[in-house]
Structure 1
Amino acid sequence: MTVNNTVERETGTAGEAAVRGELVRVLFGDDHRATHGHWRRLLTTGPFRRRAGLTPEEQLGLAYERLRTLDSTLDSAFRLAADPVALANLHEWISPVDTALATVAGIHYNLFLGSLLDHDGDAGRDLSEFADLTRVGTFLCTELAHGNDAAALETTATYDRAADGFLLRTPHAGAQKFMPNTSTAGGPKSGVVAARLLLDGRDLGAFLFLTPLTDATGPLPGVRIRLLPRRMGSVVDHCVTSFGDVFVPRSALLAGPQGRLDGEGVFSSDVANRRRRFLLSIGRVTAGKLSMSACAVGSVRAALAVAVRYGSHRIIAGVRAAERVPVTAHRSHHAPLASALATAYAMTLLHRTVQRTWTDHDESNRAAAERLVAVAKAWITWEARTVIAECRERCGAQGLLENNGLAAFVTGIEGTITAEGDNLAIHAKAAAEMVSGQHPPRPAAAPAGRELTDLAFLRDLLAAVEAVQLGRARARMREAPPGDALGRWNAGATAALKAATAHAQLRAVEAVTEAVAALPPGSAARERLSGLGRLFALERIAGNTGDLLNEGFLEGRHISELPVEVDRLAARIASVAGPLTEAFDLPEEWLADVPIAGAGYLAAYDDPQGPWHRSGTGESK
């Protein structure tokens, strides 16, 4: 493998440290110690170090124990709940350590406490018991028969004028609340429960109601909680929960622009559409999508750090009889990891862009910001599944063992793909909005003289892929028989979904391009990041060369040059894979708890009574 001469000149010991510092700032920001440092430091402390041999029940208990430890380190639980970027950063670091902790923390701080803060902010509720975790919060929206169509949920909250409160009721089995962590594990719990507000026989739509669920001994009267079968991945205590005329006071309604009920029992709302009322009520789900993306990027970086380290010190037989080489010397081993590194950098930088977009949005561009959050969540978590599976496979049988961590990443990523909106559902919704909305300008088809080494050209090619697929989706939908809305969507769905994927890839390349431009010209950090961006873009373009050639965006020579350039970039990136993963800034304490992340990993399997510890006379050496 060869390295660019500029990189070779600048990467001595001191130079390499400087390059690492530049890339850390690229990935985490100039103020990374302020924005990420607290969560990173937690990973180095005793309560968050890896503990081997725990039963699932002990793992669950540890997750809640860690939640309380985490809470004790906060200057304000309310400040965390109010800050979607801080919440996402939290998930980015704790997800590789404990997927159950990431789940219960996200539910408590974002979905539960965040919903309380977002609605009824002037109601004067005392939230101290939730801030100090005297009571753990959970979020009950999804029902057994209603997931992505949660707006059609069937749990009811009937207003009782005489008692000035609501009776929560589960009308049938399909309306049971599904999945949240409502068992007695972790201590007493309350939930914000999504239910249809029934007032004098009128269905006013779904709203959230603050509802105590359990005390120290078990479910409260009228609340039924049954553990679900253990699911793959996280050990979280997910349950089915139902209500038998459970009374909550009028103040339990989380009020806001979506709706409020005054002391006379008069309902008012600033929003006429019932579906829109519901979406406003559950607005915290968007911040949850950001956190799911964060879980994915954090887990991907951790998996790559382990796989790259293992590949460098897993020594195997070479081509010659007496030769021994690290397994990563083989192109078949290091090329997939180089590709995964390019994806990890691209998805991390896209995630940062999405965070900024969401925090900076206003009402005029809220829909576009929500769409980008959804597209990014789906694409990032799907890509994370691919990268994590590759890392696991590159570690062979070692990667299957729980003590090496990768197995938990393999199963844990499935939860992020489904949580806060199943990927395919939110991807399809975003794709439909893109097709029906205003299309971006179609790039000019002018490939003459443009080269695959030019990141700007690759950016334009991905923009062309999006434009081609959007145009195809619209054309196919126009050709569908009139009067059949589902048939019309089905006709264009394949191309529309490809357009949404291309949009995520395009925004990722734009994020990398922006970061490259901010680095000093000619620097090793800029060269490496540019190479990562080009490899990422080329591999996405490779699956679309037919369309791009047919539409005039590529020349014939580009088709034959593309695999050569991919191979060249993979070799260059693989030669600095170790330093590239060091920029992920994972604490050495965390890596030390993963046997195969260390060169002496065989010691983790040593047998003190093994024959190699004995002399030829049978005595211990």
Structure 2
Amino acid sequence: MTLESGRSLRDTLSSLVHGDSYRKLQPRLGEIFSPDVFARPSGLSEQERYSLTYERLRHINGMVDTSTPLLRQRELLFPLLEWAAMADPSLFYAFFLHHCTTIGSVLEFGKDRDDLDDLLAELASTSVVGALLMTELGHGNSNAAVRTEAVYDRDHNEFVLTTPGPEAVKYPPSVGAEGVARTGIVTARLKVGEQDCGLFCFVVPIRDSEGACQGVRIEPQDSPSILPLDWAVVSFDGVRVPYRYWLRDSASISNDGTFTDALSTPALRSRQASRLIRYVWEGAAVGLAAVARGSAAIAVRHAHERLTNGTFAGNFASAMPVIRYRNQQRTLFGALSSAFVAAMAAKVIASPDPMPQTAGAIRTVFTLKAAIDQIAERVTVASREASGVLGFSPQNRFLDYQGLAHSFNAAGLSSQVLYLNAAWTMALGLDYQAPADDTLPPADRSLRDPAVWSLLTTARERRLHEELVDELGKARADGLSEFDAWNDRFDLAERMAQAHAARLLVGVIRTEVDALAEPRAKEVARTVCALHVLTEIMTHSGWYLAEGLLTAAEARSLPALLNELCAEIAPNALDLADALDVPYEIVGAPIAQADYASAFTNVAAAGPLG
């Protein structure tokens, strides 16, 4: 379909996913992610698979200019992360750990220091590969409970890194691959004399091409089959770390051994060690949105070619594409809709200019990351299930993408913890003011109106916030401790934060869709986004009904309205799938092709591609 401007519907809608700078970069991305380099050979051993991941990391590094850290080339970094996620989720993980968290830590906590230039150059060349060693086996994702110690040795102006017990081993850094030199960013509790100075990051060589460095013990662990990474348990026994490898931020130790820090307490310092996690949230959001896009596009394309002689067709001799069935449309167009929403949210996070480091902006980033992760989990699973037995085939990528989505539910704090952190800051009013609960429009309103979406999601956030604050206030008045006050209200807190995320997403949708100049493209985009938003509203229709925000007639109308939206999406579904900008040549899923049976047979004969 060609619109009035001469641009195709697909090209116009793809602006929801990417800006003009991406279009200019696309040919270069095609060169970097050559199908020959990113073929998926079968029969590899675990060590061979790990080696391939790091070979690909070096390949990408060799194809781009990293003399300026990629974190400072955001318009290049995020497209590279997207394509890496769709080409090879294990590579994506290694790539973002190297360029975002490892180099990011040096830039974040070693700011304005020229004595780290050689380290940055070494990392930029990937002669060593970076890793993050933050979480510990005995304390899960609780970085505040880190037990690894870095004791300052004044006589040698060094730090001695020690793991005090099995609960303090670092788990699960991906540093187990043989023959790959690794440098880690290790979080440890700094001790100067008898003083506990809080958590800091240290640059620590973990292994060279021959094996573990002196004092470092690496115990390889089993890797999940759907996201193969060289996981390990790492412990330290008297590892000596030079003073310059202390990423000291605003702290210092004088010649007489006196520790000083602009932050007044160890607790405040320990919180600062998590600043680098924002790079995780940004990178994860982009990669998760990418695999949601890939899954939805593959499944929708396949459903147009996959024929069935269903009982409900009424004629067993007549086959029809499964996409004709409304239940398939609700699943697959729902995945398509959610993939667009995730892509638009990731586009906001991955803007050329990073968000300001205010409490509100940081909360927005991690709340959107949690929402995108939940979308990616739903979309990857729904796309796989809707594709039948071929959805379970590794060649068709759903399992790979599902593995990445599941992994990031825990990485960089779990989605639930992120929501609870958001709720905590919002309940305290930290850079947050609850939105106005405006009067809803007249009874003849349309649930397809984006203004109604905003009113409903705003009212839900406002009222759940009021309920949470009121409940916490009553609990404190009754003499409950802060733990007990929150402990029975975590469910309410999570629902409030999820409502906040829903409102944020509606705001993103309205901004991005309204920016489309073509009336026809705007109409199609609004229709596909409506499916996601109204599905979310229907999920909570009981609450909206109880609050008087939906009428009984509106609540009953939602299933039929979702079917209407599916019927309107159907003629444009393939254009919408292609507007998600999935590079099928490197994804390589046979079922994304029109003649998927021939493509799958050829792939099976020659070895899986993509």
TM-score normalised by the chain length of structure 1: 0.90
Range with greater deviation from structure 2 (25-34 or 302-311): 25-34
Q: Quote how far apart the aligned CAs of 1:229 are.
A: 2.1
Letter aligned with residue 398 of structure 1: L
Match in the other structure for 2:527: 531
Match in the other structure for 1:103: 93
The alpha-carbon distance between structure 1 residues 605 and 207, as it changes in their structure 2 partners (threshold 3 A), is: closer
Match in the other structure for 1:266: 258
Q: Quote how far apart the aligned CAs of 1:38 are.
A: 4.3
Could you list the per-position Cα deviations for residues 92-145 of structure 1 after superposition, in whole angstroms to 9, with x for gaps in the alignment?
A: 221121111111111111111111122223242212221111111111111111
The alpha-carbon distance between structure 1 residues 282 and 570, as it changes in their structure 2 partners (threshold 3 A), is: same
Match in the other structure for 1:428: 420
Match in the other structure for 2:369: 377
Is 1:223 the counterpart of 2:219 in the alignment? no
- The 3-state SS of whatever aligns with 2:446 is coil
Match in the other structure for 2:399: 407
Q: Quote how far apart the aligned CAs of 1:37 are.
A: 5.8
Q: Residues 44 and 587 of structure 1 are in contact (CA less than 8 Å); yes or no, is this contact kept in structure 2?
A: no
Could you list the per-position Cα deviations for residues 507-535 of structure 1 after superposition, in whole angstroms to 9, with x for gaps in the alignment?
A: 111111112211225x2211111112222
Could you list the per-position Cα deviations for residues 488-507 of structure 1 after superposition, in whole angstroms to 9, with x for gaps in the alignment?
A: 11333222211111111111
Q: Equivalent of 2:510, from 492, 510, 513?
A: 513
Match in the other structure for 2:160: 167
Q: Quote how far apart the aligned CAs of 1:580 are.
A: 0.3
Q: Equivalent of 1:309, from 292, 298, 301?
A: 301
Is 1:504 the counterpart of 2:497 in the alignment? no
Match in the other structure for 1:613: none
Letter aligned with residue 342 of structure 1: S
Q: Equivalent of 2:330, from 328, 332, 335?
A: 335
Match in the other structure for 2:39: 49
Match in the other structure for 1:542: 538
Q: Residues 70 and 76 of structure 2 are in contact (CA less than 8 Å); yes or no, is this contact kept in structure 1?
A: yes
- The 3-state SS of whatever aligns with 1:397 is helix
- The 3-state SS of whatever aligns with 1:504 is helix
Is 1:482 the counterpart of 2:474 in the alignment? no
- The 3-state SS of whatever aligns with 1:46 is coil
Whole-angstrom CA distance in 2 between matches of 1:374 and 1:569: 31
Could you list the per-position Cα deviations for residues 337-357 of structure 1 after superposition, in whole angstroms to 9, with x for gaps in the alignment?
A: 111111111111122223449
Q: Residues 166 and 249 of structure 1 are in contact (CA less than 8 Å); yes or no, is this contact kept in structure 2?
A: yes
Range with greater deviation from structure 2 (317-326 or 222-231): 317-326
Letter aligned with residue 594 of structure 1: A
Within-5 A mapping of 1:186-585: 187-257=180-250, 259-317=251-309, 318-356=313-351, 359-362=354-357, 366-437=358-429, 438-480=433-475, 481-520=478-517, 523-585=519-581
The alpha-carbon distance between structure 1 residues 84 and 587, as it changes in their structure 2 partners (threshold 3 A), is: closer
Match in the other structure for 1:122: 113
Is 1:586 the counterpart of 2:577 in the alignment? no
- The 3-state SS of whatever aligns with 1:210 is strand
Range with greater deviation from structure 2 (87-96 or 566-575): 87-96
Range with greater deviation from structure 2 (245-254 or 226-235): 226-235
Could you list the per-position Cα deviations for residues 528-574 of structure 1 after superposition, in whole angstroms to 9, with x for gaps in the alignment?
A: 11112222221111123333233332334322332222110022113
Q: Residues 339 and 536 of structure 1 are in contact (CA less than 8 Å); yes or no, is this contact kept in structure 2?
A: yes
Whole-angstrom CA distance in 1 between matches of 2:6 and 2:178: 47
The alpha-carbon distance between structure 1 residues 337 and 133, as it changes in their structure 2 partners (threshold 3 A), is: same
Q: Residues 315 and 327 of structure 1 are in contact (CA less than 8 Å); yes or no, is this contact kept in structure 2?
A: yes
- The 3-state SS of whatever aligns with 1:452 is coil
Q: Residues 104 and 279 of structure 2 are in contact (CA less than 8 Å); yes or no, is this contact kept in structure 1?
A: no
Range with greater deviation from structure 2 (73-82 or 384-393): 73-82
- The 3-state SS of whatever aligns with 1:96 is helix
The alpha-carbon distance between structure 1 residues 497 and 85, as it changes in their structure 2 partners (threshold 3 A), is: farther
Match in the other structure for 1:137: 130
- The 3-state SS of whatever aligns with 1:208 is strand
Match in the other structure for 1:149: 142
Q: Residues 139 and 193 of structure 1 are in contact (CA less than 8 Å); yes or no, is this contact kept in structure 2?
A: yes
Q: Equivalent of 1:90, from 73, 80, 104?
A: 80
- The 3-state SS of whatever aligns with 1:256 is coil
Q: Residues 179 and 211 of structure 2 are in contact (CA less than 8 Å); yes or no, is this contact kept in structure 1?
A: no
Whole-angstrom CA distance in 2 between matches of 1:92 and 1:267: 43
Match in the other structure for 1:178: 171
- The 3-state SS of whatever aligns with 1:48 is coil
Letter aligned with residue 185 of structure 2: V
Q: Residues 154 and 175 of structure 1 are in contact (CA less than 8 Å); yes or no, is this contact kept in structure 2?
A: yes
Q: Quote how far apart the aligned CAs of 1:374 are.
A: 1.4
Range with greater deviation from structure 2 (598-607 or 229-238): 598-607
Whole-angstrom CA distance in 2 between matches of 1:185 and 1:372: 39
TM-score normalised by the chain length of structure 2: 0.92
Whole-angstrom CA distance in 2 between matches of 1:195 and 1:369: 28
The alpha-carbon distance between structure 1 residues 87 and 32, as it changes in their structure 2 partners (threshold 3 A), is: closer
Q: Quote how far apart the aligned CAs of 1:55 are.
A: 3.3
Whole-angstrom CA distance in 2 between matches of 1:206 and 1:567: 54
Whole-angstrom CA distance in 1 between matches of 2:414 and 2:73: 24
Whole-angstrom CA distance in 2 between matches of 1:471 and 1:540: 21
Q: Quote how far apart the aligned CAs of 1:448 are.
A: 2.9
Q: Quote how far apart the aligned CAs of 1:83 are.
A: 4.6
- The 3-state SS of whatever aligns with 1:107 is helix
- The 3-state SS of whatever aligns with 1:25 is helix
The alpha-carbon distance between structure 1 residues 412 and 355, as it changes in their structure 2 partners (threshold 3 A), is: closer
Whole-angstrom CA distance in 1 between matches of 2:438 and 2:348: 22
Whole-angstrom CA distance in 2 between matches of 1:13 and 1:553: 38
Whole-angstrom CA distance in 1 between matches of 2:533 and 2:31: 34
- The 3-state SS of whatever aligns with 2:56 is helix
Could you list the per-position Cα deviations for residues 450-479 of structure 1 after superposition, in whole angstroms to 9, with x for gaps in the alignment?
A: 211211111211111111221222233233
Whole-angstrom CA distance in 1 between matches of 2:42 and 2:7: 33
Q: Quote how far apart the aligned CAs of 1:155 are.
A: 0.7
Measured on the aligned residues, the alpha-carbon RMSD in Å equals 2.4
Whole-angstrom CA distance in 2 between matches of 1:36 and 1:215: 36
- The 3-state SS of whatever aligns with 2:294 is helix
- The 3-state SS of whatever aligns with 2:212 is coil
- The 3-state SS of whatever aligns with 1:31 is helix
Q: Residues 115 and 282 of structure 1 are in contact (CA less than 8 Å); yes or no, is this contact kept in structure 2?
A: no
Match in the other structure for 1:617: none
Range with greater deviation from structure 2 (154-163 or 182-191): 182-191
